Amino acid sequence: MDHTALALIELGAVFFLLGSLGKVAQRIGMSPIPLYLLGGLFFGQGGVLSLGDIGQFTAVASEIGVVLLLLLLGLEYSATELVTGMRRSWLAGVVDLVANAAPGAIVALILGWGPIGALTLAGVTYISSSGIVAKVLGDLGRLGNRETPVILSILVFEDLAMALYLPILTAVLGGVSLLGGLTAVGISLLVISVVLLVAVRYGRIVSAVVDSEDREVFLLRVFGAALLVAGLASAMQVSAAVGAFLLGIAISGSTAENATKLLEPLRDLFAAAFFVVFGLNTDPASIPPVLVWAIVLAVATTATKVGTGWWAASRSGVGRLGRARAGAALVARGEFSIVIAGLAVSAGAVEGELAALATAYVLLMAMIGPIAARVVEPVARGLQRRTAPQTVRS
Q: What confidence category does residue 304 fall into, taking pLDDT thresholds of 50, 70 and 90?
A: very high
Query: pLDDT class for 95, splitting at 50, 70, 90?
Result: very high
Q: What is the pLDDT of residues 235-257, one digit of tens each?
A: 766 667 777 877 888 887 888 88
Residues constituting the chain = 394
The pLDDT value given to residue 394: 37
pLDDT at 391 over 50: no
Calpha distance 219→217 (Å, rounded): 5
Instruction: Please check the confidence at residue 393 and state whether its pLDDT lies above 50.
Output: no
Supply the DSSP symbol for 316.
T
Q: 134 with 304: CB under 8 angstroms?
A: no
Average pLDDT taken over every residue of the chain:
80
> Are the C-beta atoms of 350 and 344 separated by less than 8 Å?
yes
Sketch the domain layout of the chain as residue ranges. Answer: 56-377
Query: Average pLDDT for residues 145-168, to the nearest whole number?
Result: 80
CA atoms 44, 49, 51, 57: torsion sign: negative
Mean predicted confidence (pLDDT) in 187-210: 76
Give phi and psi for 331, each to the nearest 5.
-65, -40
What is the band of 53 on the pLDDT scale with cuts at 50, 70, 90?
low
User: Whole-angstrom distance between the N-terminal and C-terminal Cα of the chain?
Assistant: 88
**Cα separation of 387 and 192, whole Å?**
49
392 in helix, strand or coil?
A: coil
Q: What is the pLDDT of residue 359?
A: 84
pLDDT band for 32, please (50, 70, 90 cuts).
confident
**Residue 61 — pLDDT band, cuts 50, 70, 90?**
confident
Most confidently predicted of 269-283, 296-310, 338-352: 296-310
Q: What contacts 32, CB < 8 A, 6 or more positions away?
A: 21, 22, 25, 26, 272
Spell out the residues 6+ positions from residue 384 whose beta carbon is closer than 8 angstroms to its own: 320, 321
- 14 pLDDT band, cuts 50/70/90, is confident
Q: Is the pLDDT of residue 392 over 50?
A: no
Of 307 and 350, more confident: 307
pLDDT of residue 229: 85
Cα(328)–Cα(325) distance, integer angstroms: 5
Q: Helix crossing, 55-75 with 253-280: angle to 10°?
A: 150
> Is 142's pLDDT higher than 50?
yes
CATH of domain 56-377: 1.20.1530.20
Distances (CA, A) of 113 to 12, 55, 175, 350: 38, 28, 16, 7
Outline where the chain has alpha helix (H): 3-28, 33-43, 55-75, 79-110, 114-126, 130-139, 148-173, 178-210, 215-235, 240-250, 253-280, 288-315, 320-329, 335-347, 352-387
Q: Are 246 and 74 in contact (CB under 8 A)?
A: yes
Q: What letter represents residue 160's amino acid?
A: L
**pLDDT above 70 (res 52):** no
Of the listed ranges 28-37, 102-111, 224-233, 303-312, the least confidently predicted one is 28-37
